Each structure stands twice: as structure tokens, then as C-alpha cells.
Structure 1
């Protein structure tokens, strides 16, 4: 579809319905969503002049059926390419360039405890391997490690596996993806080798979470928690486990639609709708202090 610059809500809704029907990971839910959007369009609910307002209204309706936070109509302030996925990639490239490649903070605290912040997301691995590998190699020298995911909104599952590879001793099955359109099943494993040095699978490891930690960042926390490798400290995460793709339906609007579902090999399920539950619940602001204390206690014992 070649979108027009002028906002035509009916055309945006029709295209969004088509994409949801064809690609959403749960076909029965897709039919319910499509029926809802058709009804709301007929009622005049989307008769608005602004793309940002239309995005808000449609997203509320898309998520009202099963509260899938990856299913949305996303507004972009700057015009984006009609090429599939281009809107998202243009946005995250800007974030990558201004966040030291997704590792904006590495600090050594008292007692040999390192803090590595991964934010604002886990960028595509072809971009992020070098900066993340360098940061994780430096952190490998610490006695204990705290990985801060409180401000991380998601990203690339391959990057999740890459990070896990530095925090485990051997190749490990992390997750299995089930894709709708081609019926394909794809396993995710940590890597048999890494660039630089591993922190390894035995030293104390804590991950910090908040109520805004989302998507691939949740997978990183969930995978390591299920393996018994990390202690999760902080708040319950947002609860989005379905990987999605994006389609531009207007120069300022992108429909993001989950096309697969994750199944953890340990739990047999995922964190969709429930979030990752912390092992040490506390506010996001308190999480770093709690994790530092916990790491020092573990080192002392």
C-alpha cells in the first residue's frame, strides 16, 4: 500500500484490519479485533483530524480484546518510509547512536560489584554486538554483576541470546518461537563462544526491572530467572512476550502486529500479560540499592 499524506481514517483502519487478519499470531483473536475496528469505524469513533489522536484511539481498541501491548497503531512525529519495518528501524537507529550502542552506563560499586545498564533497548545484534561485547567483557572482571533493565523497552531476541552468552558457562536453550504465517518453530540458544571474556555462570548476578521493562528485556530477565541464573530485583514488568513486525499504513502511522509467540523450555509458557515477577519485590528506585546489598551478602557468604 502507498499511503497518502492526507489522513483518511477509513483507509488506515481498512489496512490495519487487513494486516491484523493476515498476520496476528492468534487468528481467532484477529477476527474479534477486526470486527471491533469495523464496528467502531461505522460508529464514527475514528472521525478525527490528527494522526496522533487516531493512533491512540485505535491502539486502545486493538488492546481491549486481549491486552496485547505489542498490538498497536504507533504514531511517528516525522514521516517514515512505506517500506515494511522502516518506521521502527529509523527510530531505533537514532536511539542507538545516542546511547553508546545500548550500554550507556558501566560502573564499579563498592565490594567489586559492577552495574551495567542496558538501555533504552536491546538493539539489533548486527549493530549491538561490538558495544555490548565490549561492555560485558569489561564487566566480566567484577566479583558480582547487576544488569539494569529498568529503562529498557525491548528489542532483538538475538541480542538477548548474545547477552545471555556472557552470563552462562555453556550453550543453553533459552526460548522457542512459534510463528503464525509459515508455521515455523525456531529455537533460541546462547552462543558457544563470545567476543572477549564471559562473566560466567557462577558469580552473583542480579537484574533490575521496573514497570516499564518490556518485550525482549523481559525475555532476558525471564530466561535467566527460569534457568536459576539471576535474581530479579524490582517491579513486575509490563508483560509483552509476542514478537512483532511493523507496517507503515500512513506516513505518520505504523501498525505493529505480533506474528509469533514465545515458549520457555523450563516453564513451558511465557510472561505475556503477567510480566516477569521479581524475586525481590521493591520499587524501581530502590532496586539498585537492594541488589547491591544482596550481591555483597552473597559474596561474603
Structure 2
């Protein structure tokens, strides 16, 4: 076989592979396929969403739009995902409810991206340092799922703060779904202050409730933790901004509400207090529907939509300086 022919075959193979990949990258949807996606999304909204009234209104709306032919021009997975997400969000806005397009075949496990290695960034526990006279600074980039290695990393991370006179925890840009990690970290920062004589070893922080108000998951501090605790009395400051989301918001809200344990500094957070479930609906589309909502044990409310409101409002880029000044004043330095 000549070299030119070999090169042509190789080029042809690459062309076919590229064409196949292009087809996979944006699934074509005919009228029946679009109807299936819209109706199935509407069904899941009605049956599963944590806010039944708004979800039903959104489901009715997209069914009516389908019947009027408003989705006739959305002939690919990507285009339909953008349009349906926009239409649903106009009636039932939340960060967890949308139609998601993915650039691979959901039915083929080999094409799914590999999940990130959780320990690669020390489970989101970014750094510890001291600022001036005995003021600790902890930076958290995300709240990872709580595993034994993650708990061990949290113990090493929090142990460094035990000798500090004041502590600043930086949650700016932090997110993640690890609410259990947030509860574990809270264990190093809280103690029962409801009674002078009788102190519980564990503190109930918040729950996740389903659409009927039933508790589906509880989050408590741990009675026993590895390493030393910072304690429940020394000054504590949390830095937040509009990209502080998910489990980071739960952590901030719980510490703020429990007898004002923490002073929150910065700007309002993202307002993300729900948890979703994703389900495949076509080769390249999956629905994401918010199925539970947080409920703080003290307020019986959450931060959905409004965000955690800072006690000391300031521009996020100035939050560290503001918290440092507050900490220095608190410890008399």
C-alpha cells in the first residue's frame, strides 16, 4: 500500500470520526423527540419538584408552548436545553432546575467524564495562615463529600486554628454539595450554649425537606472529632460573596443563626438552598429538578433566592480587611 493511500485512509478515518463526534456532540431532535423531552420534563417537574405550585405552573406552560409549536425551531439538544431552561426559570426560578445538555452520550459510560480526584485540592481545604497577632485565616474553596480521608484532612486543617485568639474563614467563591463536611467543620466551632448546666454534645444544624415537608436528611455536629477544637466562644468571622453557594451557604447560615456564633462579612451569597436530582431524558439531555430544600433548625427558614445576608456588609474585595479590623478590635490588639 502506497504512502499516499495510507495518508488518505488515515484522513478519511479522522473525517468519519470527526463527523461521528459532531453528531454525538449535538443530538438532532425531530418533532416526536422534542415532544418526549418536553412532556417528560413537565412530568418530572409536577411529580418531583420541591415547590409543587410553581413547578406545576412551569410544566403547564411548557406543554402549552409545545402545543403552539414554539419549540419547532429547537431541532438540536443544545438549542432545546437553552430554550426550555429559560422558559421554566421564568416561572419556577432556582439554580437547580433546568434541562442540561452534555457533549457526550449519556447512555455510554465510557464517554462520561471521569470525576475529579477529591484529594487533589485537599478536599477544598485550601490554606491556613496567621494574620498579625494570633488571628487565624482559613480559606475553603469547596465543601467536598465527607469521607474518612476528607475528615482526616479537616482535622489537620482545623487543628491549626485551635491556638488562635480569633478566626477568619474565607468562603468567597466556595461552593460544593458537601453539607456533611460543613456539619463536621461546624463541630470544631460550636458548643451548646442553650443551657449553662446541661450541654448536648451534638447540635442539630439544619434538615433537608422534601415537597411534603418531610425530613429526608438531618445535619448535626459531631460529638467526637479528631484533633483540637477552636471552640464555641472565641471570635469567628466568615467572608462571603455572591459566588458563595450550596454547602458553603449552609455552613455560613447555620453558624450565623446559632446564637450569632459567627459574624458574616461581605456581600449576599448566591441563594442556593436546594438539592437536585439529575435524570437522563435523551441521549444528550438530562433533567435537573430541585427535590429538597434546607430548613435551619432555629429559623425554620433558609437562604433560597435571598442569599445569606452579611452582618457587616462590604465589597467582597474589602471583606478580609474589614474582618481583620473587627477581629483585632475584639481581641484588643
**TM-score, length of structure 1 as denominator length:** 0.86
Deviates more, 1:263-272 or 1:229-238: 263-272
Q: Is residue 233 of structure 2 the alignment partner of residue 212 of structure 1? A: no
Equivalenced residue count is 292
| Partner residue, 1:135 | 157
| Partner residue, 1:275 | 307
Secondary structure in 1 matching 2:163: coil
Which structure has the greater CA radius of gyration? 2
Structure-2 change in CA distance of 1:32 and 1:202 (3 Å):
same
Q: Shift of residue 168 of structure 1?
A: 1.0
Distance 2:119 2:205 in 1: 29
Deviates more, 1:270-279 or 1:95-104: 95-104
Aligned partner of 2:326 among 278, 294, 299: 294
| Partner residue, 1:234 | 266
Does the CA contact (< 8 Å) of 2:124 and 2:143 recur in 1? yes
Q: Shift of residue 251 of structure 1?
A: 4.8
CA RMSD of aligned residues (A): 2.7
Cα deviation, 1:157-204, whole Å, max 9, x if unaligned, reads 212211111111342111122223794454321111112111111111
Does the CA contact (< 8 Å) of 2:71 and 2:80 recur in 1? no
Q: Is residue 268 of structure 2 the alignment partner of residue 246 of structure 1? A: no
Aligned partner of 1:167 among 181, 184, 189: 189
Higher relative contact order (CA 8 A, sep 6+): 1
Q: Shift of residue 49 of structure 1?
A: 5.0
| Partner residue, 1:38 | 63
Q: Shift of residue 215 of structure 1?
A: 1.9
Structure-2 change in CA distance of 1:300 and 1:242 (3 Å):
same
Gaps of 5+ in 1: none
Distance 1:38 1:102 in 2: 42
Q: Shift of residue 30 of structure 1?
A: 2.0
Secondary structure in 2 matching 1:203: coil
Does the CA contact (< 8 Å) of 2:55 and 2:92 recur in 1? no
Deviates more, 1:110-119 or 1:226-235: 110-119
Distance 1:66 1:22 in 2: 14
Q: Is residue 210 of structure 2 the alignment partner of residue 157 of structure 1? A: no
Cα deviation, 1:125-176, whole Å, max 9, x if unaligned, reads 1263232232112222322211111111231221221111111134211112
Aligned partner of 1:122 among 122, 143, 158: 143
